[in-house]
Chain A
Amino acid sequence: MRSLTDLTLTEANGALRAGQFSSRELTQACLDRIELLEPSLHSFITLTPELALVQADQADQRFVKARKGAGDMLPPLLGIPLGIKDVLCVRGVRCTSGSLILGNFQPPYHATSVERLLQAGAVILGKTNTDEFAMGSSTENSAYGVTHNPWNLDRVPGGSSGGSAAAVAARLLPAALGTDTGGSIRQPASFCGITGLKPTYGRVSRYGLVAYGSSLDVVGALARQAADVAVLFSVIAGHDGRDATSADRPVSPVDCETGLDRVFRDLRVGIPDEYFISGIQPEVESALRNFLSLLEANGAQLIPVSLPHTEYALPVYYLLAPAEASANLARYDGIRYGPRLPADKMWDVFRRTRGELFGPEVKRRIMLGTYALSAGYYDAYYGKAQRVRTLIEQDFSRAFEQVDVIAAPVAPTTAFRIGEHTDDPLAMYLQDIFTLPANLAGIPGLAYPVGFDQQDLPVGAQLMGPRFCEDMLLRIVCAYQAITDWHLRKPAFTNSR
């Protein structure tokens, strides 16, 4: 029998509206499942069960009113339990960013994306685990402990939105918010066998997001299928006057139902040579090739494209993002928030507080960014990286003159072992080679499952599209998920519970 937590967001939405169960029942089912599985997964930093049940009851009152014909239009996420990555502010709920330096920080305001979810009627179950300040590809850099991959508890869930991805994959909740600066939504979605959207830069407000790399950071959604991601995306996207980089462009609703059988017809899918490198796990490549064959069999054209500067995305990103981070993280000084380590002079308060409460990866990136921005190295590193970023963006612009979308792997391998790359930062950074370019170019990317490897770990693929074309990416993957079932598989460990 399917339990309430097996329902996708879209199914739960329909059932709540039809009165088959209440939001309180659904929320309680999620909380029960969290109690059962969370000790093995550790996907949350903070749970908010009391808040969730209050919000669920409020949603139920609106359903009752609506059934009596007295309510207004029901908002799109009414009564749906969600998780929020712990770098997004929820007013009054501790926000750690995975760091000790924010400690017990209680935000005095909501992030815009969170506010929009709440206005849409969502129920907030808690704050999900993340690498410290979203700096990492495995969630191992969280000061609050590592998250385990529900497909294999010895493996990482990916990162930095690993808590959100693991919670959705283990069906603790139907969907969650994440953020993606260099792949932090797409790579964990891929490692956990779910669907995750990194929107166009500027599409979703960054107000209330703890800043990491401000020219790259994007808020997005993770869920079990593209249709669910589309619901969340259409709620959180749109202009916000509180974020100066927010795009003032209308968000068209994403139709994930009609005409899906025609989506692949004459679709021009670009295949970039540069993403099929040696060193890629053979099952990752073969699953992607199978996906492409299916598209071709349904009428899509596969067209080779070239993105010649792809190999430089890694150094460009790992100079620019740490440079921006070194400036953004200057605010953590033990004065306005977070704990303070005592010292006799102010400068020593700064040095001690930052030296002891930032974790190793954050300190490494602050050092790298400080180096790249320092007099004497600025032109050779930071300036050079900004210029090569332009070339990477131009690669995509040229490619999108020939094709509608570009298909690529998300990561070179499936989920790696906990501890496998922790001693070698460069090896960890290399995990991001296929996701970084979309962030540098500011274009949207959607990751979704396309198969499993021999160890039963999910394999993901990604579609990248021109700026503001999230709806096209979502419709393509909706159409794919209508004729495949990779996204419906359930981790074996959760079956036995």
Chain B
Amino acid sequence: MPLTIEDVEYFAELARLDLKSAEKEQFRRQLSAILEHFRQLQEVNTDEVEPTSSVISPESILREDEPRPGLSLEELLRNAPHKDQDQFRLPPVFE
């Protein structure tokens, strides 16, 4: 079933992406075609198959919890577009 413009807007909002109206239509068309193509996966019987989230065998990778030197505050803030003293500066979250 092809996506609607409302579907595209819904997923763009989940991903926090502002899309222009031409982009919405383009993505609607392209993503519909891609997802239609991917329907072929449904023909594979996976009833008895475990999912793979990583090819690495799960094993403990815990280490001793010892303090180590990290990056300085100055290094951490250096790339921020707006900062205020030792903090990232951003506009209000709520009204």
Contact = CB atoms under 8 A, between A and B. Distances in A.
Interface of A: 104-106, 108-109, 201-202, 215, 241, 244-245, 247, 309, 311-312, 315-316, 318-319, 326, 333-340, 343-352, 354-356, 358, 360, 363-364, 366-368, 370-371, 374, 380-381, 383-391, 393, 425-426, 429, 441-442, 467
Given A315-B38, A318-B38, A374-B11, 17 more contacts: A201-B56, A335-B80, A337-B80, A340-B82, A344-B91, A345-B92, A346-B90, A346-B92, A347-B16, A351-B16, A368-B31, A371-B31, A374-B14, A387-B49, A387-B52, A390-B46, A429-B34
Contact of A426 (B33, B49, B55, B80): B33
Given A215-B53, A393-B52, A364 B30 contact: yes
B85 interface: no
A347 B90 CA distance: 10
28 contacts: A108-B71, A108-B75, A215-B53, A245-B56, A309-B44, A311-B40, A315-B40, A335-B81, A337-B79, A338-B81, A346-B91, A347-B16, A351-B17, A352-B18, A354-B15, A363-B27, A364-B30, A367-B11, A368-B34, A371-B35, A383-B51, A384-B44, A386-B52, A386-B53, A425-B34, A426-B34, A426-B37, A442-B55
Given A337-B79, A385-B41, A355 B71 contact: no
A36 to B, nearest CB: 34
Interface of B: 8, 11-12, 14-20, 23, 26-27, 30-31, 33-35, 37-38, 40-42, 44, 46, 49-56, 61, 63, 71, 75-76, 78-82, 88, 90-93
Contacts of B16: 333, 347, 350-351, 354
B56 A391 contact: no
Nearest to B61: A244
B81 A339 contact: yes
B77 to A, nearest CB: 9
Nearest to A430: B37
Nearest to A362: B17
B61 A360 contact: no
Chain A contact surface mostly: helix
B44 A393 contact: no
Given A215-B53, A354-B16, A387 B46 contact: yes
A390 B40 contact: no
Contact of A367 (B17, B54, B63): B17
Contact of A370 (B11, B42, B91, B93): B11
Contacts of A349: 90-91
Contacts, number: 159
A356 B19 CA distance: 8
Chain B contact surface mostly: loop
A277 B18 CA distance: 41
A366 B78 contact: no
Given A363-B23, A363-B27, A390 B50 contact: yes
A229 B36 CA distance: 40
Contacts of B20: 355
Contact of A388 (B46, B90, B92): B46
Q: Most A CB atoms within 10 A — which of B11, B78, B88, B93?
A: B11
A355 B56 contact: no
Contacts of A245: 54, 56
Given A108-B78, A201-B55, A441-B55, A363 B19 contact: yes
B38 A319 contact: yes
Closest 8 CB pairs of A and B: A355-B18, A442-B55, A386-B51, A337-B79, A387-B46, A315-B38, A108-B75, A340-B81
B20 to A, nearest CB: 8
Contacts of B17: 351, 354-355, 358, 363, 366-367
B15 A316 contact: no
Q: Most A CB atoms within 10 A — which of B33, B61, B88?
A: B61
B63 to A, nearest CB: 7
Nearest to B40: A315
A127 to B, nearest CB: 16
Contacts of B71: 108-109
Given A109-B71, A371-B31, A374-B14, A384 B91 contact: no
A467 B55 CA distance: 10
Contacts of A247: 56
A363 to B, nearest CB: 6
Contacts of A363: 17, 19, 23, 27
A105 to B, nearest CB: 5
A371 B79 CA distance: 31
